[in-house]
Chains A and B, each alone.
Chain A
Amino acid sequence: MQQLLNGIFIGSIYALFAIGFTLVFGILDRLNLAHPAVFAASAFVGIELVERGGLSLWAALPIVFVFGAVVGLVIERVAFRPLKNRADAHFAGLISSIALAGMLIALLQWRYGPDTRRFPPGSFPDTRFEVFGAQVTLVQVVILVVSLALMVGLTYMVTRTRLGRGMRAVAENPTAARVLGVNVDRVTAVTFAISSALGAVAGVLFAINVNTAQLGMGAAIELKGLAVIIVGGMGSLPGALIGGLLLGLAEVFAVQYIGSSWVNVIAFGLLFVILLLRPQGLLGARKVREV
């Protein structure tokens, strides 16, 4: 039972990271590799707000959300927009976002040094519950609830709202979208902002959950986030959630039944098998391009 919950909570962190990631990657079809850097940066900023600013965590979270959104706008403006008319815009954007990520991490290192940092003890109520004999912390419940809420909210936004329709139109064909009166630049910028804001919140929650914020924390979860997106189905938000949970559970049960040294082999092996059986991902629609 404890292991099942462990898996769900690890998985919901992967999902939280992947949901922000997939908004840009899956829907706008741009791979923003500065996302992991935002994830790390926001954790450090959050710690600074709580430690130096004396804010409570609940007050710090919205500020971090805004911080993430602003960084998202900067990323879009600096790393993606200037390159959008190149024939290889997707690839060029990917590379320039790696450069931006490197700069962000270097700035963090300059500001905070290379050491691991943590939220001061007691900055989050360490309330614990017992569920069927298993230990659950309040942070973990919050993470799970936030992931679910974001998934539902974002799915609604993408499928039902004007902004969401704009996003999908831009993804399908930017030129056609512009002809139809969609402000392509604005839609793109807003998508980046939301995506990075989500990454920022994920970073803070992750840092609280494991009591650790490191410069490399984004890089450590990056690959898993990508795997989750692809297994869940490109652009599918529920897919990202399910993919995240699946990876979390696979890791935990690999520890339980096979051995801790084999976690990555088992977890990624399982994801591989899923892709072999369902190349479009669990909830991905098979893309049919008509000429």
Chain B
Amino acid sequence: MRTKLHTVAAAGAAALLLASCGSGESGGGESAASGALTGEGSGESCTIEGEVPLGAVLSLTGAAASYGESQQRGLELAAAELAEQGGVTYDLTIEDDQTDPRQAITLFDEFVNDGVSLIIGPTLSNAAVQADPIAQDAGVPVLGISNTAAGVTEIGDYIFRDSLTEQAVIPQTIAQATEQFGLENVVVMYSNDDAFTESGYEAFAAALEEEGVEISETITFSKSDTDFRALLTQAQESDPDALVVSALIEAAVPLVTQARELGIDVPIIGGNGFNNPTLMADAGEAAEGVVVGAAWNSSSDNPENQAFLEAYEAEYGAQPDQFAAQAYTGLKLVDQAVRANCSAERDSIQEALGQIEDVPTVLGEFSIDENRDADHPAVVQVVENGEFTVLE
């Protein structure tokens, strides 16, 4: 694959030299398309003649369909705005992996062979872990827009993401909660038979130690448990300033409900599993006072966010969620990277993505860190009157 790419690049360079002949875009085939992927100017003035082919692999059907649908809307909104801007034209192809990693692998293969400049997605981390190596081997940059599992960007130097990991959100959550509530001792509860909640627990434990908050007790349960009364009574005995819980939403709802039932009215600080409107829908009043960190602050008044909210509402008649915001931001970042060197060559995008720093986005001031992970401020939310509001 490597060799082939060099050939393509060489052919591209040759085509560039021949560009004066004016046969660049009409020829079709890889070398011609590739040749048209480099333009003149830089930043806003960058003009690339050919269409820049981009692929997106989303879960539009199957278990993760609700996420994929939001992402599709975010991407299409961003694509429409970029089309208006002009200079660079994107040809975005969105494909459905049916929430199946094997299907994601097939689609990645197709996109790589079709000569796309970059692949966006896939929706779920477990698909990313399996499909991303294909793009890495072929030297095609990948931008994950919702993968939060540890290790995804460790696959290789072509794999990026704009989605903040739980490991990045949790320290900010704990720091702010400690300041707001003056936490001194807390009880930590987590389900120890699930890889995601366990890594969430580790992040919480490290963050609490960092902030000098004492963990008076650590209580474990199983992800299939539904009756937490005995555990909560045990937690209550050490009279904590807050409960810190790493659990999936299935366990989060009964846990929160039962805690309030037992008269535990201290804040409950949750991991990523709690970042779900289902919590308020199903736990009702009991959800009040739940604190959870998130990547996107829907009520942020930065101009990019306000414009996004307005455009999304106008286009779809609905409020965007975090998945739509991260997808929208993703495509905008790709545009940023393309314009930086005014080139949509794979290697050029890869290089430019790595250098993204302090870009104003819907998610706030955005940078890609040295591990190719997203770096931007998280938002700490608290449930008030049945809604997530910013904790301040």
Interface on A for B, CB 8 Å cutoff? 2-3, 6-7, 9-10, 13, 114, 116, 118, 121-122, 126, 128, 135, 137, 209-212, 214, 216-217, 220, 251-252, 255-256, 260-261
Q: From A10, A209, A220, give the contact of B230 (CB < 8 A).
A: A10
Decide if A210 touches B258 in the complex (CB within 8 Å).
yes
Decide if A260 touches B282 in the complex (CB within 8 Å).
no
Known: A121-B282, A128-B261, A211-B283. 9 other contacts (CB 8 A): A2-B233, A3-B233, A6-B233, A7-B230, A114-B63, A135-B263, A211-B258, A212-B250, A255-B219
- Between A and B, 29 residue pairs with Cβ closer than 8 Å are A2-B233, A3-B234, A6-B230, A7-B230, A10-B230, A13-B227, A114-B63, A116-B249, A116-B250, A121-B285, A122-B284, A126-B261, A128-B261, A137-B261, A210-B254, A211-B253, A211-B258, A212-B254, A214-B224, A216-B224, A217-B226, A220-B226, A255-B219, A256-B230, A256-B233, A260-B220, A260-B221, A260-B231, A261-B192
Decide if A220 touches B282 in the complex (CB within 8 Å).
no
B275-289 Cβ-contact flags toward A at 8 Å (1 or 0): 000000011110000
Q: From B224, B261, B285, give the contact of A135 (CB < 8 A).
A: B261
B218 — nearest CB in chain A belongs to which residue?
Answer: A260
Tell me whether B10 is interfacial, beta carbon within 8 Å: no
Tell me whether B332 is interfacial, beta carbon within 8 Å: no
Once the chains are docked, how many angstroms separate the CA of A251 from the CA of B231?
Answer: 10
- Most B CB within 10 A of own CB, among A2, A3, A220: A2
Q: From A209, A210, A212, A260, give the contact of B219 (CB < 8 A).
A: A260
B-side contacts of A220, CB under 8 Å: 224, 226
Within 8 A of A (CB), among B236-254: 236, 249-250, 253-254
Decide if B234 touches A255 in the complex (CB within 8 Å).
yes
- Most A CB within 10 A of own CB, among B227, B261, B283: B227
Number of interface residues of B (CB under 8 A): 27
For chain B, what secondary structure do more than half of its interface residues adopt (helix, strand, loop), or is it mixed?
helix
Decide if A255 touches B231 in the complex (CB within 8 Å).
yes
Tell me whether B72 is interfacial, beta carbon within 8 Å: no
Decide if B262 touches A211 in the complex (CB within 8 Å).
no
Given A118-B282, A135-B263: A3 in contact with B230 (beta carbons within 8 A): yes
Decide if B253 touches A118 in the complex (CB within 8 Å).
yes
A94 CB to nearest B CB, Å: 24
Decide if A214 touches B250 in the complex (CB within 8 Å).
yes
A250 CB to nearest B CB, Å: 11
Q: From B63, B219, B230, B254, give the contact of A252 (CB < 8 A).
A: B230
A-side contacts of B261, CB under 8 Å: 126, 128, 135, 137
Tell me whether B367 is interfacial, beta carbon within 8 Å: no
- Most A CB within 10 A of own CB, among B233, B236, B283, B284: B233
Once the chains are docked, how many angstroms separate the CA of A220 from the CA of B251?
Answer: 14
Once the chains are docked, how many angstroms separate the CA of A10 from the CA of B261?
Answer: 15
Decide if A209 touches B253 in the complex (CB within 8 Å).
no
Once the chains are docked, how many angstroms separate the CA of A209 from the CA of B261?
Answer: 11
Decide if B220 touches A210 in the complex (CB within 8 Å).
no
Once the chains are docked, how many angstroms separate the CA of A256 from the CA of B261?
Answer: 19
Tell me whether B59 is interfacial, beta carbon within 8 Å: no
A284 CB to nearest B CB, Å: 27
Decide if A255 touches B230 in the complex (CB within 8 Å).
yes
Q: From B63, B257, B263, give the contact of A211 (CB < 8 A).
A: B257
